[in-house]
Structure 1
Amino acid sequence: MRKIKLIFGLVLVAGILISFTVEQKHRKEMKVANASLFNEVNNPFEDTLKDQATVITLNPSTDINVIEIEEDVDLGIDTAEYLPYGFDAYKGFQINVADINVIEIEEEVELGFDVNEYLPKGFNPYKA
């Protein structure tokens, strides 16, 4: 009886070990099969884009015609009746760069402590 238990235990352990090695081998085969399957997939959109890139070459100055449609805005009233005589909406928009005054205000930054205590003597951040 003891020998039968020992043989049964050895067969059981051997079966478990063999099943693990078979399972690992199966997983490796599936990984290889999946990798080769994904490498062989053809993407029709990618192929079409590659074909179009070689076929379509446009020259913007000659091949493309832009049509601009100017639409009139109809408010239903005559706006000239409500504006002063000689009204120019664009009057005063001629800006001269020399007329612009730029004022730079330098703000002093207050850190709340004396930075000189933490810097070496003669420290100059702008010195190369």
Structure 2
Amino acid sequence: MKKIKLIFGLVLVAGVLISFTAEQKHRKEMKIANASLFNDVTNPFEEVLKDQANEIILVSSTDLNVIEIEEDIDLGIDTSEYLPYGFDAYKGYQIDIADICVLEIEEEVELGFDVNDYLPANFDPYKV
């Protein structure tokens, strides 16, 4: 019984190995066939693109047309039924420029040496 199992296992392994080599040969043949198929196909734009590859094409911003499409979102319900009367989503978002307060914190830079030793006498960087 052991010999039959051993022989069956060897036959199975040999069959698997043979099928892999046959499949690899088939794949190599298909790659060669596909390569020759694509080499025969000509691209009508290829010549034009090769000619334009050496040219510099300048495009200005006025030549470009940008179309922005605003799509309405339809939720399938009337949202005004669920919002309070006089609801304004933008209320409170009107910003007055006078209300903006910008604070600039000047940090003292420590260079590790005295810069006055390297500047001329009475040096003023703000003098015009």
TM-score (norm 1): 0.38
TM-score (norm 2): 0.38
Greater Cα radius of gyration, structure 1 or 2: 1
RCO (CA 8 Å, sep 6+): is it higher in 1 or 2? 1
